[in-house]
Amino acid sequence: AQKVTQAQTEISVVEKEDVTLDCVYETRDTTYYLFWYKQPPSGELVFLIRRNSFDEQNEISGRYSWNFQKSTSSFNFTITASQVVDSAVYFCALSEFGNEKLTFGTGTRLTIIP
């Protein structure tokens, strides 16, 4: 069974601070995919990244970076120099190869204080 845990329910940081959102997953498959989505107050889900289980390279996209560590089953997301527009709920998600279902974590509500 697949499971995603986001232990941080809410985080508040002051603008320009760095913040890391944690994601821990469980799966029995050796082939799987991990995702991060952003959900602003308007509700739509904004795709941020997809990573497959064979690619452990960390990724950086502007102020966003992701740290994938299979040894600890974690896929953490860091925002550098946070901005007010980063305020949203962030979801980590997992899908197993051959299983189309996408399992979401419970989300982390991030508030950036101006």
Partner 1 sequence: GAVVSQHPSWVICKSGTSVKIECRSLDFQATTMFWYRQFPKQSLMLMATSNEGSKATYEQGVEKDKFLINHASLTLSTLTVTSAHPEDSSFYICSARGGQGAVFYGYTFGSGTRLTVV
Q: Which residues bind partner 1 (CB under 8 A)?
A: 35, 37, 42-45, 47, 50, 91, 95, 100-107, 109
Phi, psi of 57 (to 5 degrees): -65, 135
- Residue closer to partner 1 (CB basis): 51 or 79: 51
Nearer to partner 1, 30 or 106 (CB): 106
As measured in angstroms, the least distance from the Cβ of 45 to partner 1 is: 4
CB-wise, 50 or 63, nearer to partner 1?
A: 50
Are 36 and 90 in contact by the 8 Å Cβ rule? The answer is yes
Q: How far is the CB of 32 from partner 1 (least distance, A)?
A: 13
> Strand runs (DSSP E) across the chain, as ranges?
3-5, 10-14, 19-21, 24-26, 32-39, 46-52, 59-61, 64-69, 74-79, 88-96, 103-104, 108-113
Instruction: Find the shortest distance in angstroms from Cβ 13 to partner 1.
Output: 19
